Chain A
Amino acid sequence: MTPILQIRDLQVSYYTDLGRATALNKVNLDLNSGEKLGLVGESGSGKSTMALAMMRMIKPPGRIEGGSVTVGGVDLMQLSDEEMRMSRLSRIAYIPQGAMNSLNPVMRIGAQMIDAVRAHVPDMSKEEMTERCMQSLESVDLKRNVFSMYAHELSGGMKQRVCIAIGILLKPQVIIADEPTSALDVVTQRQVMETIDRVQKEIGTAVILIGHDMGLMAQFVDKVAVMYAGRLTEVSTVRDMFTNPMHPYAQALIKSLPNLSNKGVFQGIPGLAPSLLRIPSGCAFHPRCEKAMDICKTDVPAVERYDGDRLVACHLYAERA
């Protein structure tokens, strides 16, 4: 089966007064239809940049330097601006942190859904559009009357659901949800995640879930991808990632999660995340890595496949590859 989403050598830089910051460094990723991937990492590791690059929404001073993002056989990077605009929402959709300010305060929710449909299927009748939007609202557990409400009349969780409803309007093949649960309370977080889970099953798309709450993510995704300094360090199934993480950074991340055995003794990762302007040579993680070897300071570890479908970029396992 060919993966619905194929990312190859995707590279993004930001040109600042202080020099070029590499925010995304030759990232490769595959995702099958119906698969859910959690993308985790510290802030500044490049998660959001990756989402924006896939939508081709990197704004100056940022620039996509190269690579391809293929969705259902179409390379988004090769499309014209107008074709890309038509692909947003219909091929690949982005769900923002809706709890805050993602909805236009002066337009009714319905109008903000209908304009999205009209932008892609202009010849659909008004009744049909309305019906499609209503159904979409219902499928995220919202009442039909939300259609004629304004954003300020909704709670944070409801606004997030509206954003999800907009994201699934055109049944895209890939959905990227960028920290959809931040700024929500714990109960609502769970409900929102369950909603995403259900609509994903209904329309069978691939989902990329960006976040840093590993605990919440573990309950909903199939695979977890760990990013560090603009590179993917490990991509494994949830079970493998939590029981037997391979990359030392992934190990540190898992160890830092509170669990029953360490009884709330919080273990952080020593050192600071590197500045994207000065990424350490070799493996970017080596200054903070307990198991660093000489080769780690000089050579960038290649992503290798282990145990069937685990992808890890670390010199420790070089002989096992």
Chain B
Amino acid sequence: MKLRLILRRVAFLIMVVWAASTITFFIPRMSDRNPIRERFAELARTGGFSASDLEVIVASYNKKFGLDKPLWEQYVDYIGSVARLDLGVSLNRFPKTVMEIIYESLPWTIVLLFVSAILSFVIGNLLGAVAAWPKSPAWMRSVATPFIMFMGVPPVLLAIFLLFFLAFRLKLFPLGQAYSTGIAPDWSLSFVMNVAWHQVLPAVSMILGSVGGWVLSMRGMGVTIQGEDYVNFAEHKGLSGRTIFRDYYLRNALLPQVTGFALALGSLITSGAVVESLYALPGLGQKLSQAIQANDFLVIYGIVLFITMSVATLMVLVEFLYPLLDPRIKQD
């Protein structure tokens, strides 16, 4: 029974990755752009080789990347290479592979993304729960409102404003970069603090921009839960307000929110990509923006595919962990 459940989730994960790879395979081929030709045409323009040379070079590259094979064969090769996590090479930084680029930038993205995702989940859900709880003091409830207002401000705009006012004008924070120039990366406390200091503004802009969504959905959930019989009975039992809030109200209201966490990561990654490049943090997002600017197609596709796979995997992982939180799920 348990095994079947695991197999089903894994099958779902494979389906998602397959769908994502198929989309990233076919969409670029529906347009008539040839990334390699464009890339070399650019090189040709800046001097170097003649148009006839270009044709020869493009043909040899097409052969090397299998672009001269029939479409279905390319597709099979492609899916096979995705399965081996072989996402090709960068045209711009040849011979670096896309996976190498991803690996070197991944830690930065993971730190920024998880810190801001977890903080905004915790802050947003606590504020939402407090806002919906009829016994919480009025000032605590009103704290939620400004955060809901921030929903209309995309994290990117917040990032721009914070960068301008706090970093550029008031000089309270560094102007981007992962760490101060001139210090060597190591694991010393001062270096870690330096990195953390550089992450404050990007993280704050992402948290402020995404907290409102949690506040809003948690408030709706809280209103539903506080009407439940078990919350009522808890009060009849003479439990203290704190116990009721924590064990009966919050725990039950949080459960549906947890499933939304992985999905929220997916949308946070969008903002993260742009915020990273604004603050010149060497994460996946910056690499993606650079690749877009440079028409480095395989890097674009590779990073997109990698992010998609990670989000899908996280979602399935959350679903696996969910039964630990909700005993009702174990049954079926």
A and B in contact, CB less than 8 Å: yes
Say whether A101 contacts B228, CB under 8 Å: yes
Q: Which residues of A contact B328 (CB under 8 A)?
A: 105-106, 150, 152
Q: Do the beta carbons of B230 and A101 come within 8 Å of each other?
A: yes
In this complex, what residue of A is CB-closest to B329?
A152
A94 to B235 Cα, complex, angstroms: 10
* B240 CB-CB contact with A under 8 Å: yes
A116 to B229, CA, bound (A): 16
Q: Which of B1-9, B35-43, B192-200, B244-252 contacts A (4 or more CB under 8 A)?
A: B244-252
Contact with B along A100-135 (1 / 0, CB 8 A): 111111110000000110011000000000000000
Partner among B230, B238, B243, B325 whose Cβ is within 8 Å of the Cβ of A90 = B238
**Contact partner of A119 among B239, B326, B331, CB < 8 A?**
B239
User: Please, how many angstroms separate the alpha-carbon atoms of A119 and B331 in the complex?
Assistant: 32
**Residues in chain A near residue B252, CB distance under 8 A:** 104-106
In Å, the complex CA distance between A87 and B235 comes to 12
Q: Does A96 contact B (CB under 8 A)?
A: yes
CB of B327 within 8 Å of the partner chain = yes
Q: Which chain A residues in 207-251 approach chain B with CB under 8 Å?
A: none
Q: How many residues of B contact A (CB 8 A)?
A: 23
Residue numbers in A under 8 Å from B251 (CB-CB):
104, 106-107
Closest chain B residue to A96 by CB distance? Answer: B233
* Docked CA distance A116–B240 (Å): 9
Bound-complex Cα distance A120 to B239 (A) = 8
- The answer to whether B29 has its CB under 8 Å from any CB of chain A is no
Q: Is A164 an interface residue (CB 8 A)?
A: no
Q: Are B327 and A94 in contact (CB under 8 A)?
A: no
- Note all chain B residues with C-beta closer than 8 A to A89: 236-238
Residues of B contacting A87 in the complex (Cβ-Cβ under 8 angstroms)? 238
Distance of A87 Cα from B237 Cα, bound (Å): 9
Main secondary structure of the interface of B (DSSP, over half): helix
Q: Does B270 interact with chain A (Cβ within 8 Å)? A: no
Separation of A150 and B327 alpha carbons in the complex (Å) = 7
Interface residue? A71 (CB, 8 A): no
Closest residue to A176 on the B side, CB-wise?
Answer: B236
CA distance A106 to B229 in the complex (A): 14
Range class of the A interface residue count:
20 to 34
Assembly CA distance A100 to B239 (angstroms): 21
The answer, yes or no, to whether B234 is at the interface (CB within 8 Å) is: yes
CA distance A163 to B233 in the complex (A): 9
B238 proximity list for chain A (CB < 8 A) = 85-90, 116, 119-120
Please name all residues of chain B whose beta carbon is closer than 8 Å to the beta carbon of A104 when the two chains form the complex.
230, 234, 247-248, 251-252
Q: Which residues of A contact B23 (CB under 8 A)?
A: none
With contacts A105-B252, A105-B328, A152-B327 known, is A115 near B239, CB below 8 A? yes
Judge whether B229 and A119 touch: CB under 8 Å.
no
- The CA of A102 and the CA of B248, in the complex, are separated in Å by 11
Q: In the bound complex, do residue B230 and residue A116 qualify as a contact, i.e. CB atoms below 8 Å apart? A: no
| Partner of A115 from B229, B247, B255 at Cβ < 8 Å | B247
CA distance A90 to B239 in the complex (A): 11
Whether, in the assembled complex, B232 has its beta carbon less than 8 Å from a beta carbon of chain A, the answer is: yes
Q: Which residue in B232, B243, B255 is a CB contact (below 8 Å) of A96?
A: B232
A196 at the interface (CB under 8 A from B): no
Residues of the A chain whose Cβ atoms lie less than 8 Å from the Cβ of B248: 104, 107
CA distance A163 to B236 in the complex (A): 11
| Complex CA–CA separation, A166 to B238 (angstroms) | 11
Contacts of A174 in B (CB 8 A): none
Residue of A nearest to B241 (CB): A85
- Bound CA span A35–B160, Å: 73
In the complex, which residues 59-109 of chain A have their Cβ closer than 8 Å to any Cβ of chain B? 85-90, 93-94, 96-97, 100-107
Answer whether residue A55 sits at the interface, using C-beta atoms and an 8 A cutoff: yes
* Minimum C-beta distance from A47 to chain B (A): 16
Chain B residues contacting A90 (CB-CB under 8 Å) are 238
Closest Cβ of chain A: how far from B141's Cβ, in Å?
A: 15
Q: Chain B residues with Cβ under 8 A from A101's Cβ?
A: 228-230
CA distance A150 to B325 in the complex (A): 13
Interface centre among B238, B252, B331 (most CB of A within 10 A): B238
Tell whether A105 pairs with B230 under 8 Å between CB atoms, given A115-B247, A150-B327, A152-B331.
yes
Cβ of A119 and Cβ of B327 under 8 Å apart? no
Q: Within B194-230, which residues are at the interface with A (CB < 8 Å)?
A: 228-230
Residue from A87, A93, A102, A166 whose CB has the most chain B CB atoms within 10 Å:
A102
Instruction: Kindly list chain B residues whose C-beta atoms are within 8 Å of the C-beta of A115.
Output: 237, 239, 243, 247
B247 touches A105 (CB 8 A): no
Give Cα distance in the complex from A116 to B247, angstroms.
12
Q: Which of B237, B251, B328 has the most CB of A within 10 A?
A: B237
Listed from nearest, the 7 A-B pairs whose CB atoms lie closest are: A88-B238, A101-B229, A94-B236, A116-B237, A102-B233, A89-B238, A102-B229
Q: A90-B238, A115-B239, A152-B331 are in contact. List 10 more A-B contacts (CB 8 A).
A: A85-B238, A88-B236, A96-B233, A97-B229, A101-B230, A102-B230, A104-B248, A106-B326, A106-B327, A152-B327
- Contact sample, A vs B, 12 pairs, CB 8 Å cutoff: A55-B236, A85-B240, A88-B235, A88-B237, A89-B236, A90-B238, A96-B236, A102-B229, A104-B234, A116-B239, A119-B239, A152-B327
